[in-house]
Amino acid sequence: MARHQSTLVNWSQYLLARLAVMGLTACDLEANLRHAKAIGGAAYRLDRRHRQRTVEHLRIAFPGSSPQELERLARASFEHLLQLAVEVCHAPRLIHRDSWSKRLKLTNLAPAIELFNSGKSAIVITGHLGNWEVLGYLLGVIGLRLHAIFRPLDNPLISDWLLGIRQRRGLQLITKWGNSQRMRDVLDGGGILGFVADQNAGDKGIFVPFFGRLASTYKSIGLLAMAQNVPIVCGYARRINQSFQYKIAVADIIYPDDWQLQPDPLYYITARYMRAIELMISECPQQYLWMHRRWKSRPSHERSGAAMPARLRKNIEQLPWMDQATLARIL
């Protein structure tokens, strides 16, 4: 849950945030992106704790990469994070009905658009890759009824301000706590439910492969898809070059027919959408937030030093895309 802060702290942060956004949007966007990249490079040098964590996570994901390549990607990830903050400030002004086609390059979206236009409900997921806010804005401005799951910020003034900006672009926001019935109502009504789905889910999550290592993942998306019998569209928005231009693409669509004959449908769905997120990240690893503690939680057999349970091993081995090299890394 959000932390409680004093009224004075809330208002101070809110006014500073509004002034910062006013200053940024009054300046040239390309210049802002260049400055943000430079600040990100400085943060990479100065923030030792997050730098080491980022490099270590990249080493897990890409074990064959040289130390120089890992450090290059880690630095670029820091730069991307600062540029992302700038882009979020400019996005409401630059992405609207008359301009989105000039800023966004749509790739292999035909099956997803056909699904959305059918009037049937669906779940859309992405990760902390590229600019997930831009993906939400696009779906909103083209008229789709997207309800996105979000975590309110600790500062309610800033949280409500950002909520209003998103809703003016056609997004509907649902807080992630205690709203399971509202999520089901959205899908019952033919709506689209959006998740940023790559967070660590704690010790009680379902552990599925992610870059050759088990990662705790929320069960709720798979359970919701199964209960409502709806497809899951896995998509992303990533920056092209160093400008406010984005590639919007779909990495996978998981249909109910895909999981209904699987021996463990929940495990299959969760592993498959995490595989889709992995494929998205592999296309542009420098635009992923590697400082997130994605592998923080560990399965009980690792914590106790025991062998992997037979059922978990069987679930992993039965994934259609699993190969021997990746299986060996996981085991």
**Does the CA dihedral 64-70-76-79 come out positive or negative?**
positive
> Predicted confidence band at 269 (pLDDT cuts at 50, 70, 90)?
very high
Q: How far is CA 261 from CA 106, 232, 269, in A?
A: 33, 17, 12
Residue 109: Cβ within 10 Å count = 15
Distance CA 30, CA 37 (A): 11
Among 94-98, 217-221, 323-327, the minimum mean pLDDT is found in: 94-98
Q: What is the 3-state secondary structure (H, E, C) of 32-74?
A: HHHHHHHHHHHHHHHCHHHHHHHHHHHHHHCCCCCHHHHHHHH
Q: How far is CA 236 from CA 136, 272, 305, in A?
A: 10, 16, 37
Q: Could you please report the per-residue DSSP string of 77-99?
A: HHHHHHHHHHHHHHHHHH-STTT
Task: Write out pLDDT tens, residues 270-286.
Answer: 999 999 999 999 999 99
Structure-block tokens of residue 293: 């503690």
Which residues neighbour 86 within 8 Å (Cβ) at sequence distance 6 or greater?
24, 29, 32, 33, 36
Distance CA 210, CA 277 (A): 9
Residue 148: Cβ within 10 Å count = 22
Distance CA 225, CA 211 (A): 24
Distance CA 266, CA 196 (A): 18
Distance CA 34, CA 243 (A): 9
* pLDDT exceeds cutoff 80 at 173: no
> Predicted confidence band at 168 (pLDDT cuts at 50, 70, 90)?
low
pLDDT for the residue numbered 271: 98
pLDDT for the residue numbered 92: 75
DSSP structure class, residue 299: -
Q: Is 179 exposed, middle or buried (0-12, 13-18, 19+ CB in 10 A)?
A: middle
Task: Write out pLDDT tens, residues 254-264.
Answer: 999 999 999 99
pLDDT average, residue stretch 185-195: 90
Residue 316: Cβ within 10 Å count = 20
Task: Write out pLDDT tens, residues 22-49.
Answer: 777 778 888 888 999 999 999 999 999 9
Residue of higher predicted confidence among 279 and 90: 279
Q: What is the pTM of this model?
A: 0.90
Do residues 195 and 139 make contact, with C-beta atoms less than 8 angstroms apart?
no
